[in-house]
A and B are shown apart, each in its own frame.
Chain A
Amino acid sequence: MIQLTRAYFFSASHRLHVPQFSDEKNQALFGKCNNPHGHGHNYRVEICVKGEIDPMSGRVVDLAAMDSLVNDRVVKYFDHKYINQDMPEFKTLVATTEVLGEVIHERLSTVWPKDFPTLDKVGIQETKRNRFTIPSSK
């Protein structure tokens, strides 16, 4: 068993805001992340797969095939979007990086090809100072 992790990048804006809370409570909870028109990040998403090394190729995953899937399902989907307004999932979800990571995991796991190694976890960073990790097995 070996794990391989590859990083992907997209740039998007978001705003942290809970509609059930008052403006004052949102401001107190989220601070500048609640500013009314949103703000942006260069997100880094790490996709970790685990499996056995294929003896023919010496590799655990076909990186070109994984790139194609992740680019379609994640990078092109979120890149240069306002997550709160452009993404249908976030009509009813708070656009924190935690939730964004869960949505990305779901967007991959639901179409993950059977001949790929296991999707082990998804990591996501909005800046270099924080990382959220969403494991496939709870």
Chain B
Amino acid sequence: MFITRRAEFSASHICSNPALTTEQNLAVYGPAANANGHGHNFVLEVTLAGEPDPVTGMVYDLKDLKDIMNQEVVDPMDHRHLNYEVKPFDKVIPTTENLAVEIWKRLNPHFSSGPAKLYSIRLYETDDIFVDYRGGQ
């Protein structure tokens, strides 16, 4: 069985590669390469896979999941500039793809031994663009 919890955070980022010229970055990323950055209301959906506990009837304690999502993602990223304030985005380009991979890396250790496994994360940049990541699977 899968359970999914949603959280939101608002952050700014710049999508550009320092190895490229300004013109090349604008060609690759369009307005997302704007040197001063821009922002989104990111929506994160975290899906765990497991079986309902025979005593509690729960796959995972949703309050605990909320605390983990807040600790690892929302608290450090909400109302921050990802490039300047959230590692590793001083070195890694904070595209939505790379942000999804980083969120997976932060969350996954919490589910290495527990009643449920981290199954997938979905990260919405806007209502109309999102990425799904399952740890590379």
> Which bracket fits the contact residues of B?
20 to 34
List the one stretch of B45-53, B61-69, B129-137 in contact with chain A: B129-137
Q: Is A6 an interface residue (CB 8 A)?
A: yes
Cα distance, A62 to B95, chains bound together (Å): 12
Are B93 and A5 interface neighbours, CB within 8 A? no
B23 interfacial contact with A, CB 8 Å:
no
Chain A residues near B127 (CB-CB < 8 A): 7
User: Which residues on the B side are within 8 Å of A56 (C-beta)?
Assistant: 17, 19
CA distance A44 to B133 in the complex (A): 23
A5's nearest neighbour on chain B, judged by CB, is B130
User: Nearest B residue to A1 by beta-carbon distance?
Assistant: B136
A118 to B14, CA, bound (A): 26
How many angstroms from the CA of A58 to the CA of B136 in the assembled complex?
Answer: 15
A1 and B131 alpha carbons, distance in the complex (Å):
11
Chain A residues with Cβ below 8 Å from B131 are 2-5, 60
Residue B41 CB within 8 A of the other chain: no
Task: Give Cα distance in the complex from A4 to B100, angstroms.
Answer: 11
User: Which residues of chain B are within 8 angstroms of A87 by Cβ–Cβ distance?
Assistant: none
Q: Are A5 and B101 in contact (CB under 8 A)?
A: no
* A53: Cβ under 8 A from any B Cβ: yes
CA gap between A4 and B28 in the complex, in Å: 17
* Contact indicator B132/A2 (Cβ below 8 Å): yes
Return the contact of B97 from the options A2, A7, A64 (Cβ within 8 A): A2
List residues 35-68 of chain A with CB under 8 A from any CB of chain B.
Answer: 53, 56-60, 62-64
Q: Are A57 and B129 in contact (CB under 8 A)?
A: no
Contact with A58, one of B15, B132, B133, B134 (Cβ below 8 angstroms): B15
Residue of B nearest to A60 (CB): B97
Q: Please name all residues of chain B whose beta carbon is closer than 8 Å to the beta carbon of A62 when the two chains form the complex.
A: 28
Q: Among B28, B96, B101, point to the contact of A57 (Cβ < 8 A).
A: B28
Question: Which B residues from 64 to 88 make CB contacts under 8 A with A?
Answer: none
Does B10 sit at the interface, judged by CB under 8 A? Answer: no
Residues of A in contact with B (beta carbons under 8 Å apart): 1-7, 53, 56-60, 62-64
A-B interface, 7 closest residue pairs, ranked by CB to CB distance from nearest: A58-B93, A7-B128, A58-B95, A3-B132, A58-B98, A4-B131, A53-B97
Can you list 25 A-B pairs with a CB-CB distance of less than 8 A? A1-B136, A2-B101, A2-B131, A3-B133, A4-B96, A6-B128, A6-B129, A7-B129, A53-B101, A56-B17, A57-B17, A57-B93, A57-B95, A58-B15, A58-B92, A58-B93, A58-B97, A58-B98, A59-B15, A59-B28, A60-B97, A62-B28, A63-B30, A63-B129, A64-B30
